[in-house]
Every structure is written in C-alpha cells, then in structure tokens.
C-alpha cells in the first residue's frame, strides 16, 4: 500500500512540475508596457553547451539601441555587456529570425502591431540561474532638468550540467530504479540453499 502511495505522489509531483514549467507569460508584457524580453529557453532548463538567444522587443518607435547585460549566477558578475541596434519595424504576424514559439504565438494573435527588436546570443558555461537585463535606449528626451532615455526589462534562465544521455535517459533511469524498488518490495526475501 505504501509503495502505491509513493508512486502516486511521484506522478502528481511530476505533473505539477511540468505544469509550472509551462506557465509563463514573458513576451505578453509588450501589450501593456510596450517592452518585453525573453529567451529561446524561457521556462525550460538550458543544458550546458547550448546557445541562449535573448530577444528584446518594443512598440516604442523612439528606441534606437538595446543594451544586453548578462549576469552570472552569483548575480554580481557581468559576463557580457553589449549594445545592439534595433531592427525593424516588423508588423505582426512577422517575427524575427530565431524567435521562440512564445513570440510566434504572440505575433499570430496580435496582427498588425508594429514593433522593433534586437537579439543577443551567447553559450554560457557556468551552471546556475543567469539573469539578462535588456536596457531599451531611446532618443534623448529632456523633461525639465531630467533626461529620460531608457527603460529596463529582465529575464532569466537556469543552466544545468550537460549530460551525455540527456534528461530523458536520466528520467528513464530514475523510473527504472523506482520500479525495481517497488518490484523488490513484493518478492519474498531471498534465502540461500541449506538455510531455514
């Protein structure tokens, strides 16, 4: 009975983890604020050695460049700091090259929206939670003594160690071990010949 409970709990936790991993809304922020940033790995762990493409977009046509600041998992170390000129404007449903499905879905449901974008990509090697800031730099506007020239948005991703067989093999091994554990619990104890 206890093993059935453990198996049911494992299945429930697995389904919950998958549901949480899928629930995200990054690029949709462009509807309300006019600015958004996401990655091609948004909501999914990044295996080591993979390229992460960060896409930043805006409906603010005064933006001229976007600065991408990549911070390592310690949160303090800036690994890359690069400024990229914007491209476009694109009109949805058109999307940038290398756009993740999140942007494709947004563009298909927001026909006619004009937006600018920029992309920056790297293959991080340090395992952990990375943060990327996108700083949208606009043509300088003066308001009194203050100059309003930027807006900041951020995204993050989790880099996990690279495995030679991949996550599917790890999950299969785990499930096999769990199955063996449950199966062994049902067998009578082994006794060598000649013992009582």
**Structure confidence at residue 19 (pLDDT):** 35
For the segment 59-114, what is each residue's pLDDT rounded down to a tens digit? 999 999 999 999 999 888 899 999 999 999 999 999 999 899 999 999 999 999 99
Residue extents of the structural domains in the chain: 24-181
For the segment 70-84, what is each residue's pLDDT rounded down to a tens digit? 999 988 889 999 999
**Structure confidence at residue 6 (pLDDT):** 47
**Structure confidence at residue 152 (pLDDT):** 81
For the segment 142-163, what is each residue's pLDDT rounded down to a tens digit? 555 555 567 788 888 778 887 6
For all residues of the chain together, what is the average pLDDT? 78
**Structure confidence at residue 9 (pLDDT):** 44
CA 118 centroid distance within chain? 17
**Structure confidence at residue 102 (pLDDT):** 92
Running DSSP on this structure, what letter comes out for residue 86?
-
**Separation CA 100–CA 41 (nearest Å):** 8
How many percent of the chain have pLDDT more than 70? 68
**Separation CA 173–CA 166 (nearest Å):** 11
The 3-class SS string of 148-191 reads EEEEEEEEEEEEECCCCCHHHHHHHHHHHHHHHHHHHHHCCCCC
Q: Is 95 helix (H, G, I), strand (E, B) or coil?
A: coil
Considering the entire predicted model, what is its pTM? Answer: 0.66
Report, as an integer, the average pLDDT of 174-191.
68
Contact 100, 55 (CB under 8 A): yes
| Architecture of the domain spanning 24-181 | Sandwich (2.60)
**pLDDT higher at 11 or 92:** 92
């Amino acid at each position: 009975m206890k093993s059935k409970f453990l198996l049911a709990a494992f299945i429930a936790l697995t389904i919950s983890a998958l549901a949480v991993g899928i629930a995200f809304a990054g690029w949709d922020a462009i509807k309300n604020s006019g600015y958004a940033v996401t990655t091609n790995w948004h909501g999914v762990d990044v295996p080591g050695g993979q390229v992460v493409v960060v896409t930043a977009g805006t409906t603010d046509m005064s933006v001229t460049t976007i600065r991408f600041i990549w911070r390592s998992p310690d949160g303090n170390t800036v690994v890359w700091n690069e400024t990229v000129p914007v491209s476009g404007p694109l009109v949805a449903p058109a999307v940038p090259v290398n756009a993740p499905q999140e942007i494709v879905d947004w563009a298909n449901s927001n026909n006619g929206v004009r937006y600018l974008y920029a992309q920056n990509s790297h293959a991080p090697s340090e395992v952990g939670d990375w943060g990327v800031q996108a700083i949208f730099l606009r043509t300088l506007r003066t308001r009194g003594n203050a100059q309003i020239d930027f807006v900041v948005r951020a995204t993050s991703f989790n880099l996990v160690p690279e495995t030679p067989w991949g996550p599917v093999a790890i999950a299969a091994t785990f499930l096999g071990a769990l199955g063996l554990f449950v199966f062994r619990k049902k067998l009578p104890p082994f006794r060598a010949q000649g013992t009582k």
